[in-house]
């Protein structure tokens, strides 16, 4: 069964709970199993608790570069075999890296479950056995191309790098971007790979979710067979950070790019994910910019026609969060006017609670998106891993929905007033000109 719907006494909408079973190996690997037999497909998620915040000086971008190396073969898997096996099984293999985590995903027809586990056990136990300089050089080139494609060669593409750099202090793990500085990527050497692997790619630093057309008993037997022998390692000793307080002044950055109209970015430091004010800030962002009737869209795009687009967004991460508002000017519009009017709307939300209907719309949209997110098995598996790692509670699905339903208009106002202060933000304007040289 996909989701157990538990009715409540008050005939409220039922609270979804993901049906799962779990076990933990003696080496510390936590494993969750979601049985869903709708389609004959199996999914594997391996969530390693390491991201770019764990990188050391002069090695920014390394967590992500390392992620690429996990696809280049291991002790008993020649380079390329894993993708051949998984694609031949109707599936694929991929991963993503962020400041906090590196998450690997394998997909295949469910009768290839054992092959998936064999692949992942071999690379967890034996990545270094066949690792060499050539693989590092090749993937460094690929990552540099990824950076060009996603940043340098993208209109306004350098914005996120400039913002992170200004929003967080130099000695904080979110100061640099996950993609890393080219000079640091070029400086990475083979021994860095060995150190990083032995520190972070250990069973006690991972959460595994197996989902789809699988049976719990089979999964348990196979995971024990392939993973239980891998020794437990010392808990990773990682850089530790003190989360910085709010900014105490406004930081203004002006940059240029080969574009035709200016774009402005207003950024504030916010709380970490799964903390009390996260839902209120998410609702604030929806009230400001989701849909045609949202405050910023209605004023800047719909009524005054001074912006081509506007978007507000709160993203909570493990150590802290970022609240961001981005607006693209219509041709001929002064970006200062966008900044001024956005500030007015933020101040209005900070001084007066939103209308009940505004909040209801934001909450209903959130709930619908939440249910939609449960539909794809792989997304459900990744959510379960996220709850395990970041909320420390695999049963958080229902609670997550509940905390958004419980947000009040007064909380939205209070969170806006507390975090989105005019004198505690980074304001970046990218204006038409020559593409700014990258760091």
Q: Which of 7, 19, 183, 194 binds other proteins (CB under 8 A)?
A: 194
- H or E segment at 113? helix 113-126
| Closest approach of other proteins to the CB of residue 122, in Å | 7
| Closest approach of other proteins to the CB of residue 395, in Å | 18
| Closest approach of other proteins to the CB of residue 167, in Å | 25
As a whole number of angstroms, the distance between CA 179 and CA 439 comes to 12
Q: Which of 20, 47, 48, 118 binds other proteins (CB under 8 A)?
A: 118
As a whole number of angstroms, the distance between CA 67 and CA 188 comes to 14
| Closest approach of other proteins to the CB of residue 269, in Å | 29
> Judged by CB under 8 A, does residue 12 bind other proteins?
no
DSSP string, 191-232: HHHHHHHHHHSSGGGEEEEEEES--HHHHHHHHHHHHTTSPP
Phi-psi region of 221 (alpha: psi -120 to 50; beta: other; left: phi over 0): alpha
Q: Which is nearer to other proteins, 87 or 132 (CB)?
A: 87
How deeply is 57 buried, as exposed, middle or buried, from its count of CB atoms within 10 A (0-12, 13-18, 19+)?
exposed
> Judged by CB under 8 A, does residue 367 bind other proteins?
yes
Q: Which of 23, 28, 198, 313 binds other proteins (CB under 8 A)?
A: 198
Q: Which of 35, 83, 313, 395 binds other proteins (CB under 8 A)?
A: 83
Q: Which of 229, 275, 344, 433 binds other proteins (CB under 8 A)?
A: 229
Q: Which is nearer to other proteins, 257 or 388 (CB)?
A: 257
Site for other proteins in 230-269 (CB under 8 A): 230-231, 258-261
| Closest approach of other proteins to the CB of residue 326, in Å | 15
Site for other proteins in 274-293 (CB under 8 A): 290-293
Q: Which is nearer to other proteins, 260 or 423 (CB)?
A: 260
- Strands 30-35, 206-212: pairing is parallel
Q: Which is nearer to other proteins, 252 or 371 (CB)?
A: 371
Q: Which is nearer to other proteins, 3 or 253 (CB)?
A: 3
Q: Which of 9, 249, 331, 423 binds other proteins (CB under 8 A)?
A: 331
Residue listed under structure tokens 């009524």? 303
> Judged by CB under 8 A, does residue 35 bind other proteins?
no
Q: Which is nearer to other proteins, 66 or 226 (CB)?
A: 226
**Contacting residues for 413 by C-beta, under 8 A, at least 6 apart:** 349, 350, 351, 352, 353, 354
Half-sphere exposure (CA, 13 Å, Cβ side) for 424? 17
N-term to C-term CA, the chain: 51
Instruction: Kindly give the residue spans of alpha helices, DSSP state H, lying in 319-438.
Output: 335-351, 356-373, 377-386, 396-405, 409-419
As a whole number of angstroms, the distance between CA 201 and CA 130 comes to 16
As a whole number of angstroms, the distance between CA 391 and CA 407 comes to 19
Q: Which is nearer to other proteins, 191 or 240 (CB)?
A: 191
Q: Which of 360, 406, 410, 433 binds other proteins (CB under 8 A)?
A: 360
Site for other proteins in 380-419 (CB under 8 A): none
> Judged by CB under 8 A, does residue 365 bind other proteins?
yes
Q: Which is nearer to other proteins, 80 or 169 (CB)?
A: 80
| Closest approach of other proteins to the CB of residue 229, in Å | 4
> Judged by CB under 8 A, does residue 27 bind other proteins?
no
* Number of shown-chain residues binding other proteins (CB under 8 A): 98
> Judged by CB under 8 A, does residue 91 bind other proteins?
yes
**Within 10 A of 70 (CB to CB), how many other CB atoms are there?**
22
Q: Which is nearer to other proteins, 23 or 370 (CB)?
A: 370
Gyration radius from the chain CA atoms: 23
Residue 266: both structure tokens together: 């207003």
Q: Are 363 and 405 in contact (CB under 8 A)?
A: yes
Q: Which is nearer to other proteins, 61 or 271 (CB)?
A: 61
């Amino acid at each position: 069964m996909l989701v157990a719907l538990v009715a409540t006494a008050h005939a409220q909408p039922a609270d979804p709970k993901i049906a799962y079973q779990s076990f933990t190996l003696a080496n510390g690997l936590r494993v969750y199993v979601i049985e869903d037999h709708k389609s004959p497909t199996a999914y594997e998620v391996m969530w390693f608790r390491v991201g770019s915040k764990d990188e050391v000086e002069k090695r920014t971008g390394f967590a992500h570069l390392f992620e690429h190396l996990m696809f280049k073969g291991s002790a008993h898997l020649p380079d390329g075999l894993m993708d051949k096996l998984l694609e031949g099984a109707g599936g694929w293999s991929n991963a993503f890296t962020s400041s906090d985590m590196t998450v690997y995903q394998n997909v295949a027809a469910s009768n290839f479950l054992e092959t998936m586990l064999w692949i992942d056990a071999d690379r967890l136990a034996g990545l270094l056995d066949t690792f060499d300089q050539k693989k590092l050089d090749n993937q460094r080139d690929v990552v540099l191309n990824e950076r060009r494609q996603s940043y340098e060669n993208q209109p306004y593409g350098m914005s996120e790098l400039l913002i992170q750099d200004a929003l967080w202090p130099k000695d904080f793990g979110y100061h640099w971007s996950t993609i890393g500085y080219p000079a640091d990527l070029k400086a990475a050497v083979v021994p860095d790979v060995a150190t990083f692997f032995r520190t972070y790619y250990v069973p006690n630093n991972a959460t595994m979710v197996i989902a789809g057309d699988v049976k719990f008993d089979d999964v348990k037997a196979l995971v024990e067979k392939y993973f239980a022998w891998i020794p437990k390692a010392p808990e990773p000793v990682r850089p530790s950070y003190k989360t910085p307080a709010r900014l105490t002044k406004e930081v203004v950055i002006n940059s240029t790019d080969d574009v035709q109209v200016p774009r402005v970015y207003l950024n504030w430091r916010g709380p970490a994910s799964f903390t009390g004010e996260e839902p209120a800030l998410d609702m604030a962002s929806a009230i400001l910019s989701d849909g045609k009737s949202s405050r910023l869209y209605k004023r800047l795009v719909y009524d005054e026609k001074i912006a081509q687009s506007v978007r507000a967004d709160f993203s909570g991460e493990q150590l802290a969060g970022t609240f961001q508002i981005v607006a693209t000017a219509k041709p001929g519009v002064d970006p200062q006017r966008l900044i001024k009017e956005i500030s007015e709307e933020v101040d209005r939300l900070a001084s007066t609670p939103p209308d009940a209907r505004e909040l209801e719309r934001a909450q209903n949209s959130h709930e619908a998106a939440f249910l939609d997110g449960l539909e794809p098995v792989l997304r459900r598996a990744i959510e379960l891993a996220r709850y395990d790692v970041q909320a420390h509670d695999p049963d958080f699905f229902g609670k997550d929905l509940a905390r958004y339903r419980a947000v009040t208009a007064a909380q939205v106002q209070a969170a806006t007033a507390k975090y989105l202060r005019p004198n505690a933000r980074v304001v970046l304007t990218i204006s038409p000109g020559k593409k700014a040289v990258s760091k």
